[in-house]
Structure 1
């Protein structure tokens, strides 16, 4: 069904539009609260080095080709006017594929995603409603006019995020009027057709809708949007109250029944994290920011795991390292933290985003980016079909294996936004300057102080401890630059053209205001020391810089197939591989003296996230714990007592163990019992 004459723009015209796109960030418009940081237009940052390889791998894999083989997207797609998928999975895929297309400036992928964008923009109903054909429209042949004739609000929130990013990259003039018409439709019909009318998903995830309303207000100043924002806020799950009042997070740790389970659903929580900071836009009350900080701290205390993510299989499920983490929850929590960074400006959230991205994210996909794991576990000693220790097992036992479709297929479509949005948020704009909040090899090109500035970031980070920034512009320009000194670093040092410039304590931004010249080269050094951290059951994890290190377990991969879910992979330790080892107490007492760090690749440029290519190894000492065995595939952890070590039987012979970055593993132990 076509609702208006299709007016698809050619790719050449859209390229011309892109040349007119904004190259400077847009600040908040009164009465919204001013924020310390603003997002840069999509495409301002181009990946290089190992990050470029990661994104190219995604483009060659499922991110660039999901529409060619995944039946839900390929067959008669509802977001192209067909009768197929008209819910969340097509917008989910686009939510990662669109930023990838513009980060790589790839014409093939741009053309692919533009099919869906053009159809959506060119088939908006006169009422402002948009999206796939509704039941009412199929039955009557008439377009949606009133709210009850529409359909679930939730998938439209994702598609609006897609359009927001597309506009950020291209400034396509169709987007702003399109969003204005839709939000007028929402404003008129939400009272009688609230977010929860069709599904609870829209109610739980209404913060995404509110975020987009404020984004549009900053560009148009239409006053009705502020009223719409208040409607959305009152209809959305009250995450701000949950985080601030604290009872919710404790109850989530204690209760795993069916009551209010949507409030414990880890993906909902990951999305809900942004609501307090988005609400702060409109309320201008620091209580919202305080609620977020309290909630984040409590969430990670009660449910946090060494890789930087909270448990969620699908419920929040405590801090035991054998509980699962859903891939969708990781990428959604990352996006929420990217919003929190801009609005709160707190280094805590920059560090949290870094830890989650460089540890939890890469381990849950295969090297070709075609298969993924629905749930990962921190201490993951085998990957096979089974129930394991999850709160939501499926009858086919496919939650733990790697495969294109294993478990729920939401992750098949939604995993693509993790790396792409992280790459697009390495830098933010400030009041007249720029802030480097995350580090990865890349090139930034943007307008600052009326000057087009290019900053090339060369680094082996997160494996290496130096980050070089080379400035390029037509003429000298004065503006401030900010650099994050991570909380794990005691002190960062900055040199300019080989001469000392500034130092900064960990957990703060290092700010430099000066006139910059073409060719200026800054070197930020963030010394990485080996440390240990304390986790559930008094276990210890070994860390160096932003990375957590895990036991390297040689593994055998087996490809299998299940009729209902296609091919999948099981991974088990090689017959002679030892995994049941405790970490020597001496390592805990003096990690630097009792470990050896080996940098295997000081300048990684290819694919880094597997055992073979791990750029850094750490050698330490440990002992076998004979009684530590798998039970139904789960490595339930021996308890280190309050005295600081495991008191059961251990092998008297100490042995050397090899640790590699957690993100490079598929099998591992990361939270170690401690042995004497």
Structure 2
């Protein structure tokens, strides 16, 4: 089984599960043969605030706090003006809850009292203005005009279910941080209201957004059931699932993802919508958790593999511009799709304990996420492109091309503003899910970044603080320093990434063991104060195969792109405000010689390895790692409609057009540090 996991994990990084779907999900951690049994998660999420980011990750969150994440209500009129979630007539739909879904964890991760006070205004108003029936949310049009209160008998005068799903996630996080005694009764009353009303006002009564995203509602209801064991919550979850998009069956039966690759029309586009897909990934594990039926785990394995094979891009996310749109490196991906897929993976990891999804989460986080915002976190790019040789206004080959030509530029309000409100949950939820609780009252580090975690562990429930010191994902070493008042026995689990051939573990300077990649290892011992555990993860340089026979260069969890000096230009649109275009300085149309693909370790060198400081920013100036190699220019590879269509190759993956004989030295830097780049290279002789 270990060899199978190793192979599976490595192939996920290079081709995302290509053809390696296991025939049976019974090998997965936590799988149950029985049905109609609520399954406890393999890993338990820690309370919000238990993990404190450090180093470069802390700096990233501080930038967000100082930028739009901490001040959206001051700089964005839709949230700022007469907000419906504060009793006004302004925004009462998704954007305010979206913002809070990132701002609440940010406030408690940073322990920032000013930001806590800010988000508490919305939380307190929401809780304090719950109707006697259990209904909650902004005052409806009928309530204002008819002077009524929404209840079971007049539920049709209520508003869309969808934005309430996001606010439930906000309240769930808030509760884990504070144990506020108002939250669980609030949720219980609302869910009992839902159970009665959904029979006459189903999920799709107001919008199809609620129907497509019903798994979000199910997730919080089942979380509450895990606390209070109210069986009506499972009845509600089953009812919600019966009215929502059937993501589990779609992911498992394969025709859905094939249809999504073939069709780009207006029929059933909501089931191809990339953000819906990102949320829908958690649907199978919600069904598995509620029923114990391991078929749902198989559905997820099949569907995620198909999704990434047909629509996957080198930076670890699927195309979503706005719909799924194939695996060509010129397709776009919406920022909301990135952060929603990340959160689904974090939930999937906890319930299944499967390291394959941990690999996917790190790849997505360290590559796709950072490139799509500016250094100050005040501007975002609605659609990013893998091979992005310029950022500018235009109508590109996206399924939603936008007449306004603003979906590719970097701006606060460019494209749709859902991403301006929703982007904040990406880094914050990743930081809060770096650690999970384990069976035996232990801890598990399943994704890595600098942080400090405090939790009560072992049979004695002893408080332990573990400081994780690292420059990961760029550096190969992770150091864990233990602090505790008394010796305590507990299991500590560590993930060995699939891309690592063999990891070494040192305890207090002495070699403890080695471990092959693609598995979770456990160190179960009596831990004492000042113990130091060092995990060494050698990072080999590899190449991987992507759409149109292109090749990407990888080292550890990072994908590397051609370094192009950037020329930034500021513009202004009357409707969407200020924005930035970015153009490359220098040539971009290079192919990698075939010898590099055959022997990447020989022809690709780490030429610069700088320390990852506490002031690190995801940009060219701060790129900690630079790889160098040689490439050949393709003079006929040119822009077409402002994008760089992949050159045609034969079945062996070799470009047959004109190639310059001269080899040119090029530099590659982490994808997340770039704005313009080539990451999916053609291969030349």
TM-score range with shorter-chain normalisation? Answer: over 0.9
Distance in 2 (alpha carbons) for counterparts of 1:343 and 1:479: 21
Q: Secondary structure at the match of 1:489?
A: coil
Q: Unaligned stretches of 5+ in structure 1?
A: 1-27
Residue 210 (structure 2) pairs with residue 210 (structure 1): no
Equivalent position to 1:633, from 642, 646, 650: 642
User: What is residue 513 of structure 1 aligned with on the other side?
Assistant: 524
Residue 584 (structure 2) pairs with residue 602 (structure 1): no
User: What is residue 16 of structure 1 aligned with on the other side?
Assistant: none
Equivalent position to 1:395, from 375, 380, 403: 403
Distance in 2 (alpha carbons) for counterparts of 1:218 and 1:534: 42
Q: Secondary structure at the match of 2:524?
A: strand
Equivalent position to 2:355, from 338, 347, 372: 347
Distance in 1 (alpha carbons) for counterparts of 2:496 and 2:145: 59
Q: CA deviation at 1:603?
A: 3.5
User: What is residue 540 of structure 1 aligned with on the other side?
Assistant: 551
User: What is residue 3 of structure 1 aligned with on the other side?
Assistant: none
Residue 111 (structure 2) pairs with residue 108 (structure 1): no
What's the TM-score, normalizing by structure 2?
Answer: 0.93
Residue 461 (structure 2) pairs with residue 453 (structure 1): no
Q: CA deviation at 1:283?
A: 1.1
Q: Is the 8 A contact 1:604 1:615 kept in 2?
A: no
Q: CA deviation at 1:504?
A: 1.7
Q: Secondary structure at the match of 1:95?
A: helix
Residue 385 (structure 2) pairs with residue 377 (structure 1): yes
Q: Is the 8 A contact 1:372 1:403 kept in 2?
A: yes
Q: CA deviation at 1:642?
A: 2.2
Distance in 2 (alpha carbons) for counterparts of 1:111 and 1:652: 63
User: What is residue 663 of structure 2 aligned with on the other side?
Assistant: 654
Q: Secondary structure at the match of 1:453?
A: strand
Q: Is the 8 A contact 2:68 2:75 kept in 1?
A: no
Give the paired residue count.
Answer: 646
Q: CA deviation at 1:365?
A: 0.1
Q: CA deviation at 1:584?
A: 1.7
Q: Secondary structure at the match of 1:423?
A: helix
User: What is residue 170 of structure 1 aligned with on the other side?
Assistant: 178
User: What is residue 581 of structure 1 aligned with on the other side?
Assistant: 590
Residue 430 (structure 2) pairs with residue 422 (structure 1): yes
Q: Secondary structure at the match of 1:162?
A: helix
Residue 141 (structure 2) pairs with residue 141 (structure 1): no
Q: CA deviation at 1:139?
A: 1.5
Distance in 1 (alpha carbons) for counterparts of 2:47 and 2:550: 43
Residue 315 (structure 2) pairs with residue 307 (structure 1): yes
Q: Secondary structure at the match of 1:388?
A: coil
Residue 672 (structure 2) pairs with residue 663 (structure 1): yes
User: What is residue 498 of structure 1 aligned with on the other side?
Assistant: 509
Distance in 2 (alpha carbons) for counterparts of 1:557 and 1:226: 53
User: What is residue 248 of structure 1 aligned with on the other side?
Assistant: 256
Q: Secondary structure at the match of 1:592?
A: helix
Q: Is the 8 A contact 2:375 2:617 kept in 1?
A: no
Q: Secondary structure at the match of 2:169?
A: helix
Q: Is the 8 A contact 1:494 1:502 kept in 2?
A: yes
Q: Is the 8 A contact 2:81 2:90 kept in 1?
A: yes
The correspondence of residues 156-195 of structure 1 with structure 2, limited to 5 A, is: 156-195=164-203
Residue 87 (structure 2) pairs with residue 76 (structure 1): no
Superposed CA offset, 1:262-301 (max 9, x none): 0000000000000000111111000011101111111000
Q: Secondary structure at the match of 1:570?
A: strand
Distance in 2 (alpha carbons) for counterparts of 1:178 and 1:568: 42
Q: Is the 8 A contact 2:321 2:333 kept in 1?
A: yes
Q: CA deviation at 1:599?
A: 3.6
Q: Is the 8 A contact 1:608 1:615 kept in 2?
A: no
User: What is residue 64 of structure 1 aligned with on the other side?
Assistant: 70
User: What is residue 5 of structure 2 aligned with on the other side?
Assistant: none
Q: Is the 8 A contact 2:491 2:524 kept in 1?
A: yes
Q: Secondary structure at the match of 2:600?
A: coil
Q: Secondary structure at the match of 2:454?
A: strand
Distance in 1 (alpha carbons) for counterparts of 2:255 and 2:604: 41
The answer to which of 632-641 and 60-69 deviates more is: 632-641
Distance in 2 (alpha carbons) for counterparts of 1:34 and 1:79: 34
Q: Is the 8 A contact 1:503 1:510 kept in 2?
A: no
User: What is residue 15 of structure 1 aligned with on the other side?
Assistant: none
Residue 144 (structure 2) pairs with residue 129 (structure 1): no
CA RMSD of aligned residues (A): 1.0
Q: Secondary structure at the match of 2:486?
A: coil
Residue 534 (structure 2) pairs with residue 523 (structure 1): yes
Q: CA deviation at 1:639?
A: 2.5
User: What is residue 276 of structure 1 aligned with on the other side?
Assistant: 284
Equivalent position to 2:58, from 52, 57, 72: 52
User: What is residue 16 of structure 2 aligned with on the other side?
Assistant: none
Q: Is the 8 A contact 1:388 1:633 kept in 2?
A: yes
User: What is residue 13 of structure 1 aligned with on the other side?
Assistant: none
Q: Secondary structure at the match of 1:208?
A: helix
Q: CA deviation at 1:347?
A: 0.5
Superposed CA offset, 1:348-367 (max 9, x none): 00000000000000000000
User: What is residue 489 of structure 1 aligned with on the other side?
Assistant: 500
Q: CA deviation at 1:31?
A: 4.3
Q: CA deviation at 1:35?
A: 2.1
Q: CA deviation at 1:501?
A: 1.1
Q: Secondary structure at the match of 1:593?
A: helix
Equivalent position to 2:600, from 586, 591, 597: 591
The correspondence of residues 23-38 of structure 1 with structure 2, limited to 5 A, is: 31-38=37-44
Following TM superposition, the consecutive aligned residue runs of length 4 or more in structure 1 with deviations greater than 3 angstroms are none
Distance in 1 (alpha carbons) for counterparts of 2:640 and 2:37: 58
Q: Unaligned stretches of 5+ in structure 2?
A: 1-31
What's the TM-score, normalizing by structure 1?
Answer: 0.95
The answer to which of 251-260 and 97-106 deviates more is: 251-260
Distance in 1 (alpha carbons) for counterparts of 2:582 and 2:41: 46
Superposed CA offset, 1:373-406 (max 9, x none): 0000000000110011211011110000000000
Q: Is the 8 A contact 2:571 2:580 kept in 1?
A: yes
Q: Which has the higher contact order (CA 8 A, sep 6+)?
A: 2
Q: Secondary structure at the match of 2:602?
A: coil
